[in-house]
């Protein structure tokens, strides 16, 4: 079954290390979200959507958007889009501004993009490529510096990045899928200084996991490390220590740690697992997760009203799937890339979120144009 393609349509499949606590977390009130016991399962999202805004992304020969891997939002409203091995900056209205950096082997180029983030002041884009961080100005796109990282013995490169205080960086390492990895303790999350030296290490491995959307940017340029084991704790990475801010509780239907090292066995199990694609606005918290038989499930929780809605993917049309990929204080963002006319799309074959967006906007992408940036605001 390759429902996995629809659930993780733009990611690579590598097993990573799940993690627990090394030291005492920062003292903070922890939100607990219970999708199964408190969630209201819905079959129509229209009543829960306040508004939808559509931003056409300017099409030029210098910025052709293909497969989108990440969206980063700047405080001034500009939007950075990672498309394949390129980084493109757009204005809030969708005007193309400039490309940041270039893929190559030159002194001011990056060799690969494993992950990206903004510095805490959002003045720099940090591109992680294995054992290097390449930094560029978000104001001009110009190269700033390249830092080679001091690597732990067990690690030959990192897979995810978030900015920390004082120009430090959080880096997450995903070991290859190998059950023998549990025979030796090792840490998954490291904090580095600006010179590439290790400052701290956190979260010893406890479980298998997938290298998919490990760290996501959320509102106010904060970063979330998604849950890495059956504790299902979301860590916010903005202070010098990871902050266990949100726990996603599936109750007795939570899968156990080390359930299986086989991907299909794990996904098809009768349990709920793997909260991923995690974003929050000022009032709402969004994530997707995997249900029994690898069912694609989605959840939005209102912090303000302590209400939760959930839904399952039922449509079988995987063309131009719409996924949440960013958030500011009010809106969730995603890329709409279905080039069919809206009235040619069979709504009953679409996921509920894409269906509601089409019903709300009747959007259409002109031929030979970039996809659309869509902003969704919820209400409940």
- Taking CA atoms, 2 is separated from 209, 269, 288, 320, in Å, by 18, 14, 17, 17
The residues near 300 (Cβ < 8 Å, ≥ 6 apart) are 48, 284, 285, 286, 308, 309, 310, 378
pLDDT per residue over 312-339, tens digit each? 998 777 778 899 999 999 999 999 999 9
CA gap 234, 275 in Å, rounded: 9
Residue boundaries of the structural domains of the chain? 3-378
pLDDT value of position 137: 99
Please give the angle made by the CA atoms of 156, 157 and 162, to the nearest 5 degrees.
155
Do residues 299 and 309 touch, judged by C-beta distance below 8 A?
A: yes
- Give the homologous superfamily in CATH for domain 3-378: TolB, C-terminal domain (2.120.10.30)
Do residues 334 and 379 touch, judged by C-beta distance below 8 A?
A: no
Please give the angle made by the CA atoms of 259, 260 and 263, to the nearest 5 degrees.
130
- pLDDT > 70 in the chain, percent: 91
Strand, coil or helix: 263? helix
Q: What are phi and psi of 205, to 5 degrees?
A: -65, 140
pLDDT value of position 71: 98
The residues near 229 (Cβ < 8 Å, ≥ 6 apart) are 18, 19, 20, 206, 207, 209, 257
Strand-pair category, 243-248 with 31-33: parallel
Q: Where is average pLDDT lowest: 22-26, 44-48, 346-350? A: 22-26
Q: Where is average pLDDT lowest: 24-33, 51-60, 105-114, 155-164? A: 24-33
pLDDT value of position 182: 73
Cβ neighbour number for residue 50 with a 10 Å cutoff:
11
Do residues 14 and 176 touch, judged by C-beta distance below 8 A?
A: yes
pLDDT value of position 179: 56
Residue recorded with tokens 């740690």: 257
- Taking CA atoms, 274 is separated from 229, 259, 298, in Å, by 8, 12, 11
State mean pLDDT over 226-255: 95
């Amino acid at each position: 079954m390759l429902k996995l393609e629809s659930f993780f349509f733009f990611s690579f499949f590598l097993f990573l290390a799940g993690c627990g606590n090394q030291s005492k977390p920062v003292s903070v009130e922890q939100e607990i979200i219970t999708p199964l016991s408190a969630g209201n399962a819905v079959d129509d999202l229209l009543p829960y959507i306040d508004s939808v805004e559509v931003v056409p992304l300017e099409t030029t020969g210098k910025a052709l958007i293909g497969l989108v891997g990440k969206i980063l939002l700047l405080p001034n409203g500009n939007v950075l889009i990672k498309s394949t091995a390129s980084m493109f900056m757009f204005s809030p209205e969708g005007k193309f501004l400039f490309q940041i950096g270039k893929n190559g082997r030159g002194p001011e180029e990056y060799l690969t993009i494993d992950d990206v983030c903004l510095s805490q002041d959002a003045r720099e884009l940090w591109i992680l490529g294995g054992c290097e961080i390449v930094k560029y100005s978000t104001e001009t796109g110009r190269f700033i510096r390249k830092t080679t990282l001091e690597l732990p013995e067990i690690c030959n490169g990192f897979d995810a990045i978030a900015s920390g205080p004082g120009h430090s960086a959080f880096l997450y390492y995903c070991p290859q899928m190998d059950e023998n990895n549990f025979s030796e303790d090792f840490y998954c999350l490291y904090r580095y200084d600006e010179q590439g030296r290790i400052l701290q290490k956190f979260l010893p491995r406890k479980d298998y996991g997938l290298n998919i959307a490990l760290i996501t940017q959320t509102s106010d340029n904060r970063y979330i490390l998604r849950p890495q084991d059956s504790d299902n704790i979301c860590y916010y990475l903005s202070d010098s220590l990871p902050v266990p801010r949100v726990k996603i509780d599936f109750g007795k239907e939570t899968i156990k740690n080390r359930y299986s090292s086989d991907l299909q066995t794990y996904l098809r199990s009768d349990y709920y697992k793997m909260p991923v694609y995690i974003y929050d606005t000022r009032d709402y918290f969004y994530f997707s997760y995997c249900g029994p038989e690898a069912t694609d499930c989605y959840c939005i929780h209102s912090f303000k009203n302590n209400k939760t809605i959930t839904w399952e993917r039922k449509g079988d049309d995987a063309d131009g799937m719409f996924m949440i990929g960013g958030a500011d204080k009010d809106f969730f963002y995603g890329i709409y890339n279905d080039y069919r006319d809206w009235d040619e799309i069979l709504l009953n074959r679409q996921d509920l979120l894409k269906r509601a967006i089409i019903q709300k906007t009747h959007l259409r992408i002109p031929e030979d144009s970039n996809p659309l940036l869509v902003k969704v605001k919820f209400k409940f």
